[in-house]
């Protein structure tokens, strides 16, 4: 089945079919509907190779993810739910529009980052790029893509600069988690933040601080910092639990640091949520399969990746650009790791 069959069935020119397939602007809605109906009826599938030869577009979208952290998780057989969910949302949305999604791992701290990116761009010639944290806030990457004239979307960054910006409202999510614990009766709520190179780490701390201040129980001694690893979560939890007036609940900025806190409690013969309530971020499968299952902030990674693809493809079609940033809000999933604080004697 070729473009000629579609044109004949729809009763339009080859040029019109091509414009509809390529989502070019200024195609009348009724003409677009007629062509799309013929495409669906005939089962026509556009050839990316033919499209690339016929014009300047590649129909490829490149997603950049943090190399060091991703590979470390793979090697430790811990899974990479962020990458999985990004592929779920991004690949399905790309497929709807005849695009393909390719993932590249890049070390944002590399001295050769410009050379690596230019090599990937030269090889793939992507129509668009999706940047995830911490790449989405890296000025070197942003300047390079802008200079190359490539459309790109930045997830999890509000730094000034070009590109579409999308956030998951981490500040609000942290506030929701804190308010949930406050409603249960907790007043000593610890927070284990992620590394400062991720902008979202600061947003989450801001949300926790705001909720604690509103309740009149703010205490900076209850703030600890990790780097998203299990070991850093354990060290942070040890510090919090060693306070003269330790927390009765802890919110950790990802599942690995939350699991480290849960393991520490077991080692000490203490229970969750009996002796300490726990709330996590990310809501990866391990959060749901932990014992007890963890109350967690659900990051809408698939939805935000899908929206990023839509913005890039929509820009090619001349669609109006929405107000920035685009917010895809997170939610809070309640499970068995949170309860009212135990009475202290």
Residue range 38-52: mean pLDDT, rounded: 70
Q: Per-residue pLDDT tens for 136-190?
A: 988 989 999 999 899 999 999 998 889 999 999 999 999 999 999 999 999 999 9
Fold that domain 170-298 belongs to in CATH = Rossmann fold (3.40.50)
CATH number listed for the domain at residues 60-168+300-330: 3.40.50.2300
Q: Per-residue pLDDT tens for 186-233?
A: 999 999 999 998 999 999 999 999 999 999 999 999 999 999 999 999
Task: Establish whether domains 3-46 and 170-298 are of one fold.
Answer: no
Dihedral Cα 134, 140, 142, 145, nearest 10 deg: -130
| pLDDT at 46 (0 to 100) | 65
Q: Per-residue pLDDT tens for 18-33?
A: 788 777 777 888 888 9
Q: Considering the entire predicted model, what is its pTM?
A: 0.79
Provide the CB-side half-sphere exposure for 165 (13 A, CA): 14
Fold that domain 3-46 belongs to in CATH = 434 Repressor (Amino-terminal Domain) (1.10.260)
Distances in whole angstroms, Cα of residue 16 to Cα of each of 12, 20, 179 = 6, 6, 55
């Amino acid at each position: 089945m070729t473009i000629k069959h579609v044109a004949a069935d729809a009763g339009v020119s080859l040029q019109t079919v091509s414009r509809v397939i390529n989502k070019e602007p200024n195609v009348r809605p009724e003409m677009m509907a007629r062509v799309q109906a013929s495409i669906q009826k005939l089962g026509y599938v556009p050839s990316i190779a033919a499209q690339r030869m016929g014009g300047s577009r590649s129909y490829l979208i490149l997603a950049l993810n943090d190399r060091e952290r991703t590979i470390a998780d793979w090697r430790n057989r811990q899974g990479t739910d962020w990458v999985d969910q990004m592929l779920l949302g991004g690949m399905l949305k790309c497929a709807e529009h005849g695009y393909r999604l390719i993932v590249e791992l890049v070390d944002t701290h590399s001295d050769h980052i410009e050379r690596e990116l230019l090599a990937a761009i030269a090889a793939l010639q992507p129509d668009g790029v999706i940047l995830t944290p911490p790449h989405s806030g890296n000025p070197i990457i942003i300047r390079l893509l802008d200079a190359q004239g490539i459309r790109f979307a930045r997830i999890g960054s509000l730094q000034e600069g070009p590109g579409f910006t999308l956030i998951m409202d981490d500040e609000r999510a942290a506030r929701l988690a804190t308010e949930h614990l406050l409603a249960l009766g907790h007043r000593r709520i610890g927070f284990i933040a992620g590394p400062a190179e991720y902008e979202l780490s600061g947003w989450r701390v801001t949300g926790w601080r705001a909720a604690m201040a509103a309740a009149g129980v703010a205490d900076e001694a209850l703030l600890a910092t990790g780097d998203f690893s299990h070991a850093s979560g354990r060290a942070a939890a040890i510090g919090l639990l060693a306070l003269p007036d330790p927390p009765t609940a802890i919110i950790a900025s990802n599942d690995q640091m939350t699991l480290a806190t849960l393991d520490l409690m077991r080692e000490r013969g203490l229970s969750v949520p009996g002796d300490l309530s726990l709330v996590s971020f990310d809501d990866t499968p391990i959060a749901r399969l932990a014992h007890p299952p963890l109350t967690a902030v659900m990051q809408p990674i698939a939805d935000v990746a899908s929206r990023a693809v839509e913005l890039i493809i929509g820009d090619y079609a001349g669609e109006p650009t929405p107000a920035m940033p685009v917010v895809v809000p997170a939610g809070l999933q309640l499970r068995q790791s949170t309860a009212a604080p135990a009475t202290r004697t």
